[in-house]
Amino acid sequence: MNEGIAQTATIGVIGDVHLFWDGQDVSFFNDGGYDLLLFVGDLAGYTQLRGLRVARSLQKLRIPAMCIPGNHDGLHAFQLGAEITPRAHRLRNVLSLGQASRCRSLDRALGHVELVAYCRRRLTLGGVPLNIVVGRPHSIGGRRLACIRYLAEHYGIDSMEASAARLRSLVDACDAAPILFLAHNGPSGLGERASSIWGCDFRKKEEDWGDRDLEDAVRHARGNGRSVLAAVAGHMHRKTKSGKLRPGQIEKDGVLYVNAAEVPRHRHIDGRKRRHHVKLTVTETTANAEDVWV
């Protein structure tokens, strides 16, 4: 290490893919100089088959990568409909049948790209020691747990309180290295407007649509003197239903929060197809996020 120059880790954060992924993305990231790629979930659209195609393409990445399942990953369209439509909630448990096998298929299709949820990974990237704490899979946001039957059967989580307790225990298992949270949806506590970083834009009533358990985990970490560098997530697309733009990042109490969900992440700009991701640069004490269109 050069005296006085901080070690730096460079992490690519890829927002909700929703099928916008191809061989050029693979080539870019394989040569992009990243130490790690974090996929915040929602590789799929409304069919699992096309999501699996994206997952198989991710196998060609030659750098370490992990992905947390979003609410579109491992759920078929009817199950997703039952999760998001209050009138159909009573059907969600029966429609969750087969979710475990769909998630296993996704895991197999991803190959060495790790499908992660409710876990901690201790890595050293670019000389920077990091605890990556991974949150609740399949989050749909708000106060209600999505996929509760699956969460109960596979993770022993049957309530928001149980989920918060699991995340706190993951934080407690971290060593002295700083923490980076990876989640599908971001934490609550960051704004109650439709255009807040994780605000609800699909109901008349504007409200905070962030995950309560994740907010609790960040607070728990900071309250216990842990260094929390950043929390990266997506789910709530940056462009709201009314056409307003959410912030892609905000900083609060020394923690950088990144919503990477630029959807679609492939876009034609000035006649050229461009691809979005967030370049997250961290040292042991700092985090910086930059939107990149390549």
Backbone angles phi, psi at 160, to 5 degrees: -65, -35
Question: 142-145 — which CB contacts under 8 Å span 24+ positions?
Answer: 142/200, 142/209, 143/212
Q: How far apart are CB 68 and Fe ion at their closest, in Å?
A: 10
In the chain, the largest separation of any two C-alpha atoms, in whole Å, equals 62
List the one residue from 71, 99, 188, 259 that touches Fe ion (CB under 5 A): 71
8 Å CB contact between 73 and 41: yes
The 10-49 contact track toward Fe ion, x by CB under 5 A, reads: --------------------------------x-------
Binding part of the chain for Fe ion, among 63-71, 103-111, 143-151, 213-221 by CB under 5 A, reads 63-71
70 binds Fe ion (CB under 5 A): yes
Binding part of the chain for Fe ion, among 18-26, 193-201, 230-238, 250-258 by CB under 5 A, reads 230-238
CB atoms within 10 A of CB 186: 33
137 binds Fe ion (CB under 5 A): no
Chain position whose Cβ is nearest to Fe ion: 235
Task: Using the minimum distance from each CB to Fe ion, give the nearer residue, 233 or 287.
Answer: 233
Task: Using the minimum distance from each CB to Fe ion, give the nearer residue, 71 or 79.
Answer: 71
Q: How far apart are CB 138 and Fe ion at their closest, in Å?
A: 9
Q: How far apart are CB 154 and Fe ion at their closest, in Å?
A: 19
DSSP string of 146-194, one letter each residue: SSHHHHHHHH---SHHHHHHHHHHHHHT--SS-EEEEEEE-BSSS--ST
Q: How far apart are CB 139 and Fe ion at their closest, in Å?
A: 7
8 Å CB contact between 48 and 105: yes
Q: How far apart are CB 105 and Fe ion at their closest, in Å?
A: 19
| Count of residues near Fe ion by CB under 5 A | 4
235 binds Fe ion (CB under 5 A): yes
Length of the chain: 294
74 binds Fe ion (CB under 5 A): no
The 42-61 contact track toward Fe ion, x by CB under 5 A, reads: x-------------------
Torsion of CA 155, 158, 163, 165, to 10 degrees: -100
Cβ neighbors of 81 (< 8 A, separation 6 or more) are 88
Residues in contact with Fe ion by CB under 5 A are: 42, 70-71, 235
